[in-house]
Amino acid sequence: MSDRKTGRTLPLHLVLVAVGAAMAVPLLYAVLSGFKSTDELSRNPIGLPESWLTSNYTDILGTAAFWQLVGSSTLIAIGTTVVVVAVSALAAFSFARFAFRGREALFTLFTLGLMFPFAVAALPLFLLLRQFGLLDNPLGVILPQAAFGLPMTIVILRGFFRQIPPELEEAATLDGCGPLGFFWRILLPMARPALGTVSVLAVVGSWNNFFLPLLVFTDSTWWTIPIGVQQFQGQYSAEYARVFAYLVLAMVPALAFYSVAERQLVGGLTAGATKG
């Protein structure tokens, strides 16, 4: 029996190993390349570094510009996450726990936002932000990012909120707890796995966003990490090893956050899938 089970799962394991290698090998190659000089990288692109040159990394870490990019990306990511989770939680609560005319049609309208490409809205969004004076302003990135993140977040939270037993809400009502009290005191604490999941998705999505900050920011004061990577590549286009080091350092904060929040992300998705 065990041999038969192993035979069935072996192809799946091989696929997982192949996918993991496809993700890990480029990252490992970039890390090792950052410890080489550009000349050595040209002569020895695959092998281990001969002298393990650390100055490519330390020079970047010693510049105030890099930390300014990290601070700007962090501020925008946190702001986006707070807005999208707060608004989506209230909207998902309404869609999940209240019956009102046109509820499903309105929810369908939100879900259609999942298929709306950002590139289509780039020009009207730019004109709108300029009219409201939000260009070169972090709110000009935070608010549109939150708006584009609403559909996915509402879909996830609504599915989780609908699994909460109605008897629990009835008991809270009998104890004198109103809808907002039930939402704040009971529903949100129970929904921590789902809230953690959508928070992780919002932070990672904001951190990796390139096009919207490029559209909004002309002043380098508020440039984010993806824009910094582009500018650095243009400035040091011939120094491949230094560019690799910059790419690795730009990925480290997002990878570190994801590794810490991975259990929360997987736990939230699993709870939403198996609950009820």
Q: Which of 5-14, 106-115, 214-223 has the highest mean pLDDT?
A: 214-223
Angle between helices 139-161 and 118-131 (to 10 degrees): 130
**227 token code pair:** 């824009």
**Residue 161 above 50 pLDDT?**
yes
Per-residue pLDDT, 85: 94
Alpha-carbon distance 51 to 47, whole Å? 12
CB 231 within 8 A of CB 241: no
CB atoms within 10 A of CB 123: 10
pLDDT tier for residue 272 given thresholds of 50, 70 and 90 = very low
Give the predicted TM-score (pTM) of the model: 0.85
| Rounded CA Rg of the chain | 23
pLDDT band for 266, please (50, 70, 90 cuts).
Answer: low
pLDDT of residue 274: 44
Mean pLDDT of 159-185: 82
Q: Above pLDDT 70, what percent of the chain?
A: 92
CA angle 203, 205, 208 (to 5 degrees): 105
Residue 52 has pLDDT above 60, yes or no: yes
